[in-house]
């Protein structure tokens, strides 16, 4: 009784259970965040069919249990872009993460560094490149959207190089922002008049005092750190968002990626590929890697879940570029399934931001440690000891 009262007043779960899975952290984040922010993370485009199908595709793949294979030395280590990593997993870019927990991008980058997996910073992060670099010791990845002002683009790339980023993730599936009805209803996509915004905002934000103190007060400045200097008059995340929506360049084509290739000497990763033709175009313009991604079901609804298209894409560009995948990965078993179907590594978006929103840096460290443990267990029970040994034979045949 007292426990429930405390939880209601503070909007903080009294942690009588240890959160272990992505879904546990999702529930903690739901209790902790004002509804518009939770929905911004949790929601997808239109009817959210692809959002649901993404993780459904992972659930529906069956594994092939193998026994008596000496799995006493199971090892999840691998290499990504010449860097040794603890397991084939990386953190996808998540915009506005710093609205979900105090300076969340720094917390996530530090947790990723402790787990020795790559962290990718979004163009539209709250913490700027320089702040994340000052709080970490290892190079992180930087994600970029094409902005209409190419001068801003080259400046951002120069800043990324200055802080030691060697891997650029260029996102190609967002020439315009997808329609997300939860954001429309909550006023996150604009559209609510001032009175509506005040009503929705005040009630929601005021009823989450723990968030208001942690982020609203102690997490400031709540600006889009990387682009703040280009929008000197913007004061609120909403003002930054409208500037960004107007700056996203819908005219972008592969020609622009050729230009990016010519000015970015490091690894170039193209994020948001869902078919063979686009995968080949990406390698033709010099991409070192692609990410098979549908933006976590946030852009075009009713497209294929990523796991379904992965094998064909991986087959088509084998030996020409590294293939990564995200959208729907929720545990270490999913990581093994992705690798068995042709990826070199998997990436997670929502799970990491749920973990930081629900449990801070420590929460994300726990989640990453559980991903690793899942992977060890799944590899062991599938009879494989190392990541290169994971192949289609780790999956049941025939699949349902």
Catalogue the active-site residues.
Answer: 295
Q: How many CB atoms lie within 10 A of CB 309?
A: 21
Among 88, 349, 359, 363, interactor with ligand FMN by CB under 6 A: 349
Q: Does 92 engage in binding with ligand FMN (CB under 6 A)?
A: yes
Q: Are 200 and 187 in contact (CB under 8 A)?
A: yes
Residue range at the interface with ligand FMN (CB under 6 A); choices 57-65, 70-78, 86-94, 129-137: 86-94
> Could you give the string, one character per residue 128-167, with x where binding to ligand FMN holds by CB under 6 A and - elsewhere?
---------------x------------------------
Among 26, 241, 295, 372, interactor with ligand FMN by CB under 6 A: 295
Q: Does 327 engage in binding with ligand FMN (CB under 6 A)?
A: yes
CA distance 91 to 118: 6
Give the nearest distance from C-beta 254 to ligand FMN in angstroms. Answer: 18
Six-digit token string for 59: 């659930």
Q: Which of residues 279 and 381 has its CB atom nearest to ligand FMN in the complex? A: 279
Residue range at the interface with ligand FMN (CB under 6 A); choices 29-37, 288-296, 363-371, 375-383: 288-296
Q: Which of residues 131 and 384 has its CB atom nearest to ligand FMN in the complex? A: 131
Residue range at the interface with ligand FMN (CB under 6 A); choices 73-81, 187-195, 279-287, 291-299: 291-299
* Footprint (CB under 6 A) of ligand FMN, residues 14-53: 40-41
Among 28, 37, 94, 282, interactor with ligand FMN by CB under 6 A: 94
Residue range at the interface with ligand FMN (CB under 6 A); choices 183-191, 211-219, 326-334, 358-366: 326-334
Supply the DSSP string of 161-213, one letter for each residue. HHTT--EEEEE-S-SSPPP-HHHHHHTTTS---HHHHHHHHHHHHHT-HHHII
Among 78, 107, 293, 333, interactor with ligand FMN by CB under 6 A: 293
Strand order in the sheet with 141-144: 89-91, 345-348, 322-325, 289-292, 267-273, 167-171, 141-144, 120-121
Give the nearest distance from C-beta 56 to ligand FMN in angstroms. Answer: 11
Residue 281 DSSP symbol: H
Q: How many residues bind ligand FMN (CB under 6 A)?
A: 23
Those residues whose C-beta lies under 8 Å from the C-beta of residue 76, and which sit 6 or more positions away, are 86, 87, 88, 372, 375, 376, 379, 387
Give the nearest distance from C-beta 78 to ligand FMN in angstroms. Answer: 19
Look at the block and give the residue holding tokens 């992180």: 140
Give the nearest distance from C-beta 189 to ligand FMN in angstroms. Answer: 13
Six-digit token string for 327: 């959208």
Give the nearest distance from C-beta 123 to ligand FMN in angstroms. Answer: 6
* Footprint (CB under 6 A) of ligand FMN, residues 192-221: none
> Could you give the string, one character per residue 96-125, with x where binding to ligand FMN holds by CB under 6 A and - elsewhere?
--------------------------x-x-
Judge if the upstream peptide bond of residue 398 is cis by omega within 30 degrees of 0. Answer: yes
Q: Which of residues 205 and 354 has its CB atom nearest to ligand FMN in the complex? A: 354
Among all residues, whose Cβ is closest to ligand FMN? Answer: 349
Closest CA to 170 of 205, 123, 235: 123
Q: Which of residues 10 and 189 has its CB atom nearest to ligand FMN in the complex? A: 189
Q: Which of residues 93 and 363 has its CB atom nearest to ligand FMN in the complex? A: 93
Q: How many CB atoms lie within 10 A of CB 70?
A: 9
Give the nearest distance from C-beta 389 to ligand FMN in angstroms. Answer: 26
CA distance 398 to 400: 6
CA distance 348 to 334: 10
Closest CA to 19 of 361, 328, 396, 358: 358
Six-digit token string for 340: 């068995």
CA distance 292 to 172: 11
CA distance 249 to 111: 33
CA distance 399 to 86: 30
Among 326, 334, 361, 374, interactor with ligand FMN by CB under 6 A: 326
Q: Which residues bind ligand FMN (CB under 6 A)?
A: 40-41, 54, 92-95, 122, 124, 143, 171, 271, 293, 295-296, 298, 326-329, 348-350
């Amino acid at each position: 009784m007292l426990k429930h009262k405390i939880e209601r007043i503070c909007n903080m779960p009294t942690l009588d259970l240890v959160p272990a899975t992505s879904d546990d952290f999702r529930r903690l984040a739901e209790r902790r965040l004002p509804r518009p922010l939770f929905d911004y993370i949790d929601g997808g485009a239109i009817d959210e069919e692809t959002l649901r199908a993404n993780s459904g595709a992972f659930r529906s793949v069956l594994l092939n249990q193998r026994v008596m294979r000496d799995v006493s030395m199971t090892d999840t280590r691998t290499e990504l872009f010449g860097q040794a990593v603890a397991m084939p997993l990386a953190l996808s870019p998540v915009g506005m993460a710093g609205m979900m927990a105090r300076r969340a991008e720094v917390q996530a980058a530090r947790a990723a560094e402790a787990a020795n997996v790559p962290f990718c910073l979004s163009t539209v992060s709250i913490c700027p490149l320089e702040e994340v670099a000052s709080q970490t010791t290892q190079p992180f990845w930087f994600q970029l959207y094409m902005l209409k002002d190419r001068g801003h683009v080259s400046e951002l790339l120069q800043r990324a190089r200055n802080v030691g980023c060697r891997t650029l993730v260029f996102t190609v599936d967002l020439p315009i922002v997808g329609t997300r009805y939860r954001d429309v209803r909550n006023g996150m996509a604009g559209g609510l008049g001032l009175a509506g915004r005040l009503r929705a905002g005040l009630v929601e934000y005021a009823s989450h005092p723990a968030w208001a103190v942690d982020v609203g007060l102690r997490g400031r400045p709540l600006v889009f750190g990387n682009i703040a200097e280009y929008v000197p008059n913007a004061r609120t995340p909403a003002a930054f968002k409208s500037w960004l929506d107007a700056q996203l360049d819908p005219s972008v084509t592969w020609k622009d990626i050729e230009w990016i290739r010519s000015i970015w000497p490091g690894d170039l990763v193209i994020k948001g590929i869902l078919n063979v033709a686009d995968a080949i175009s990406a390698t033709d313009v010099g991409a070192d890697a692609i990410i098979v991604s549908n933006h976590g079901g946030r852009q075009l609804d009713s497209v294929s879940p990523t796991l379904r298209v992965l094998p064909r894409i991986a087959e088509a560009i084998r030996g020409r570029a590294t293939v990564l995948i995200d959208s729907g990965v929720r545990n270490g078993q999913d990581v093994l399934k992705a690798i068995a179907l042709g990826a070199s590594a998997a990436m997670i978006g929502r799970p990491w931001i749920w973990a930081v929103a629900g449990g801070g840096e420590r929460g994300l460290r726990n989640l990453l440690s559980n991903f690793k443990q899942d992977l060890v267990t799944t590899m062991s029970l599938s009879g494989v000891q190392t990541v290169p040994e994971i192949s289609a034979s780790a999956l049941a045949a025939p699949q349902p």
